[in-house]
Chain A
């Protein structure tokens, strides 16, 4: 083949151009145009309480502030850590006691001063750990050492590096660290020591200090109506790609979910949650994309194992029998219309610590059988009598077993589930009376407890001898878990758990929780094994009947692009855009 000089030159030129183009493609990102207003629908009651997030106890306040200030790290839908304000990963010392955090060097407050390691350390030492401010979650930053609770030790190393040193190993402390957001020292010092002034500080309540730390800037907040943010053109993650791509981001509060879904249907809002019974309708709409995503929420029936619950509930076999009689797949199918999955412990299947093969799957075939449940109750020493065709379970004194199930009113799902449980237990000869009580009454009279005759203050767990003011046997409640650090559920299932209101005390469970949160858990494989054991033990012990992990349905207008549906769907929301 003969190639002329001209052709050779042309080929070289073409090849060079292609190489340059491909290199350009590797090093630069095509900037998208920012346009439009994204309106997220939210139902009344879910609104944030304050933008001065350090004072908040609710999750929404942290979420609202999170649009304007990034935390140290976030997670994608597979729980991979996505670094945000960090230049590099947090380094953990081999002994698990020291954490070295290096932040980016291009972070700026609104007065253009740099965000430094000093701001982070100041936030911890002078605000979160202080007595005058009473940060709600300061226990997250404490550890037990020498018989008392002490704070971890933060220390500035240089402009962009600080360390946090612990006296004891807690492998899951790193997740607390990832969520850390700084307060600007240059503003905070003005209010230091005066909680009233700090609470009312305009800079904090209007997020006017946030500089280039978040994709959006605060614009307006009319309580019970809307939270308005505008695009932050200086956002540190938007330098290369031009993100975020919405000119405005609004969270609009609507009175009911019916109105919210009507607003989505009419195109008045861009995104909102969709109730299970409306999913099919929205899926048929050309303008709407519906995604089903896992959540952190699960439902349980608690078994009162304290002295004022039915004595049978203090026995593992009885709890197992009852759990076996309640069909979780029916709950998933009939009540959640398929948008849930059976639960067997507090570790969801979406968690990296979930192990499917170790758990006892009570309430799901083949371990969902009324016949087997009745046999288990018989082997536990309980007898049956007949009333016509109906079997009646008798307690040790020969009286029919009648259990009281307490729950809160106002939710169709809870009401349907209570009635289903009543029916299921009726089939194994247990009569269930359902009692609806308001949340505060449920907490005070049924969940809080104390040792009778003592001068203890009411708490959710005052030890094994404590009982609630009113007797109860079962309670139906919804809980949340953290898939990344499920050991936080020790608050319910450990003997000293602050919310162990149902009185479950098991040394083996306590030891496993302790091991996970000690140097034994530093090795991730070892920790996974411990979580596997814990899930098995919990599913066997059945301190509660884990019913279902719920899934959420969310609807977006179809012209929204860049969404990655999943449990942490919002992690890349600054990259969402209109087509």
Chain B
């Protein structure tokens, strides 16, 4: 197992380097320039676009040959220097360092919320198949899956912040991350981001549980006189978890890249989603490459963690 993990980590570095190189080259050879977004401002001042472009590109070394830029960047990266963000006017490391926590807390809390409630409701729904509870859970999950999280976010803001005045309309960074006020103001974003996932987990858990509930080993366990709680909790649930782990881990990856970003936008949470989105529009290459690199490592780590989790859930799985 140890050798397997070391091998995977080594592959991860190679993959990350490949993705970094491709991202770096694609960004530079693309049609965009950092000056594009200033065109109208330059025009309004009656200034010469070409001279402004040359000034900006010279200042940030973007006028050098691509290969030279690449080796400069890689050299700096190996020394722990992720470059300078010209759209945020600070080192990329500082920019990411001051924003990651906002994404992390949102993703962590919404995932915990979705997993705990989703799996719980799914298990109950399967155990109480074809009851009112099961029907209600099914309807809830269909609605939850169908609602886009940014729309749900806006509706939650209108209902609970604007009309009822229970929350602020936006996330307020003046509160300490570890304060109760912060936890409280995360309720709506977590609901917005977590509801879709939660609904999905209800469906997947229910379906996976039902698959296992009718298997022979469950009949055997019941015939042996095991309490129903043990049958469901130890035998059915553990087996039902295996496909769920894949889905949850896959979801975690997609939440990081998609859902969390939209939720950050709606609630004004200054997380990495916003950072990368703004960097893309500003053609701030250093930030885009850094965020891509972090995301790559995150996905590779999630994949590795999934594989390791399999061995715990199913002792038959072994890696050489």
By a beta-carbon cutoff of 8 Å, the part of chain A in contact with chain B is 44-45, 47, 49-52, 55, 57-59, 133-140, 195-196, 199-200, 205, 222-226, 252-256, 258-259, 262-263, 265-266, 268, 296, 439-441, 443-445, 459-460, 478-482, 485, 487-492, 498-499
CB-CB under 8 A from B165, the residues of chain A are 266
Selected from B31, B33, B39, B278, the residue in CB contact (under 8 A) with A499 is: B39
B58, B170, B265 interface centre (most CB from chain A within 10 Å): B170
CB distance from A57 to the nearest CB of B (A): 4
Selected from B56, B89, B158, B277, the residue in CB contact (under 8 A) with A136 is: B56
Q: List 12 A-B contacts (CB under 8 A).
A: A49-B88, A57-B52, A136-B42, A137-B52, A205-B89, A222-B98, A256-B266, A262-B157, A268-B168, A440-B30, A440-B31, A460-B49
- Judged by DSSP, the binding face of B is helix
| CB nearest neighbor in A for B40 | A480
Chain B 29-49: CB-based contact to A (< 8 A → 1; otherwise 0): 011110111111111111111
Chain B 104-123: CB-based contact to A (< 8 A → 1; otherwise 0): 00000000000000000000
Interface size of B as a range: 35 or more
CB-CB under 8 A from B56, the residues of chain A are 57, 134, 136
User: Contacts A137-B47, A252-B170 known; A478 to B58 CB distance under 8 Å?
Assistant: no
CB distance from B223 to the nearest CB of A (A): 57
Cβ of B79 under 8 Å from chain A: no
CB-CB under 8 A from A200, the residues of chain B are 84, 91
- Whether the pair B158, A262 counts as a contact (CB closer than 8 A) is yes
CB distance from B63 to the nearest CB of A (A): 10
Other than the given A223-B275, A259-B268, 17 more pairs (CB < 8 A) read A51-B89, A134-B54, A136-B56, A137-B47, A223-B99, A252-B170, A252-B268, A253-B268, A255-B265, A255-B268, A259-B154, A263-B169, A440-B30, A440-B36, A444-B31, A459-B50, A491-B47
CB-CB under 8 A from B33, the residues of chain A are 440
Selected from B38, B169, B267, the residue in CB contact (under 8 A) with A58 is: B38
CB distance from B282 to the nearest CB of A (A): 7
Cβ of B295 under 8 Å from chain A: no
- Whether the pair B161, A266 counts as a contact (CB closer than 8 A) is yes
- Whether the pair A262, B47 counts as a contact (CB closer than 8 A) is no
- Whether the pair A225, B173 counts as a contact (CB closer than 8 A) is yes
CB distance from A250 to the nearest CB of B (A): 9
Cβ of B3 under 8 Å from chain A: no
CB distance from B111 to the nearest CB of A (A): 21
- Whether the pair B59, A479 counts as a contact (CB closer than 8 A) is no
Cβ of B55 under 8 Å from chain A: yes
CB distance from B89 to the nearest CB of A (A): 4
- Whether the pair B169, A259 counts as a contact (CB closer than 8 A) is yes
User: Contacts A52-B89, A259-B157 known; A136 to B55 CB distance under 8 Å?
Assistant: yes
By a beta-carbon cutoff of 8 Å, the part of chain B in contact with chain A is 30-33, 35-52, 54-56, 58-59, 84, 86-91, 95, 98-99, 154, 157-158, 161-162, 165, 168-170, 173, 264-268, 270, 274-275, 277-278, 281-282
5 closest A-B pairs (Cβ-Cβ)? A488-B46, A255-B265, A50-B89, A225-B270, A480-B44
User: Contacts A195-B59, A254-B268 known; A226 to B275 CB distance under 8 Å?
Assistant: no
CB-CB under 8 A from B49, the residues of chain A are 459-460, 491, 498-499
CB distance from B314 to the nearest CB of A (A): 42
- Whether the pair A255, B267 counts as a contact (CB closer than 8 A) is yes
- Whether the pair B42, A57 counts as a contact (CB closer than 8 A) is yes
CB distance from B130 to the nearest CB of A (A): 42
| CB nearest neighbor in B for A478 | B40
- Whether the pair B39, A491 counts as a contact (CB closer than 8 A) is no
- Whether the pair B169, A479 counts as a contact (CB closer than 8 A) is no
B86, B264, B281 interface centre (most CB from chain A within 10 Å): B86
CA distance A113 to B24 in the complex (A): 46
A45, A266, A481 interface centre (most CB from chain B within 10 Å): A266
CB distance from B258 to the nearest CB of A (A): 15
| CB nearest neighbor in B for A133 | B59
Selected from B36, B58, B84, the residue in CB contact (under 8 A) with A443 is: B36
| CB nearest neighbor in A for B35 | A57
CB distance from A388 to the nearest CB of B (A): 42
CA distance A485 to B32 in the complex (A): 30
CB-CB under 8 A from A137, the residues of chain B are 45, 47, 52
Selected from B44, B54, B87, the residue in CB contact (under 8 A) with A49 is: B87
A57, A134, A253, A258 interface centre (most CB from chain B within 10 Å): A57
- Whether the pair A480, B43 counts as a contact (CB closer than 8 A) is yes
User: Contacts A223-B275, A481-B44 known; A262 to B50 CB distance under 8 Å?
Assistant: no
- Whether the pair B41, A139 counts as a contact (CB closer than 8 A) is no
CA distance A262 to B38 in the complex (A): 29
Selected from A51, A57, A439, A440, the residue in CB contact (under 8 A) with B41 is: A57
- Whether the pair B58, A268 counts as a contact (CB closer than 8 A) is no
CA distance A411 to B165 in the complex (A): 31
CB distance from A544 to the nearest CB of B (A): 13
CB distance from B222 to the nearest CB of A (A): 53
- Whether the pair B89, A49 counts as a contact (CB closer than 8 A) is yes
CB-CB under 8 A from B59, the residues of chain A are 55, 133-134, 195, 199
User: Contacts A255-B264, A262-B157 known; A59 to B169 CB distance under 8 Å?
Assistant: no
- Whether the pair B274, A44 counts as a contact (CB closer than 8 A) is yes
Selected from A49, A262, A485, the residue in CB contact (under 8 A) with B161 is: A262
CA distance A459 to B51 in the complex (A): 11
CB-CB under 8 A from A195, the residues of chain B are 59
| CB nearest neighbor in A for B274 | A224
CB-CB under 8 A from A266, the residues of chain B are 161-162, 165, 168-169
- Whether the pair B52, A256 counts as a contact (CB closer than 8 A) is no
User: Contacts A137-B52, A266-B162 known; A259 to B44 CB distance under 8 Å?
Assistant: no
- Whether the pair B31, A479 counts as a contact (CB closer than 8 A) is no
CB distance from A546 to the nearest CB of B (A): 15
CA distance A134 to B37 in the complex (A): 18
- Whether the pair A479, B89 counts as a contact (CB closer than 8 A) is no
CA distance A489 to B88 in the complex (A): 30
CA distance A59 to B267 in the complex (A): 26
CA distance A5 to B257 in the complex (A): 91
CB-CB under 8 A from A439, the residues of chain B are 36-37
CB-CB under 8 A from B168, the residues of chain A are 263, 266, 268
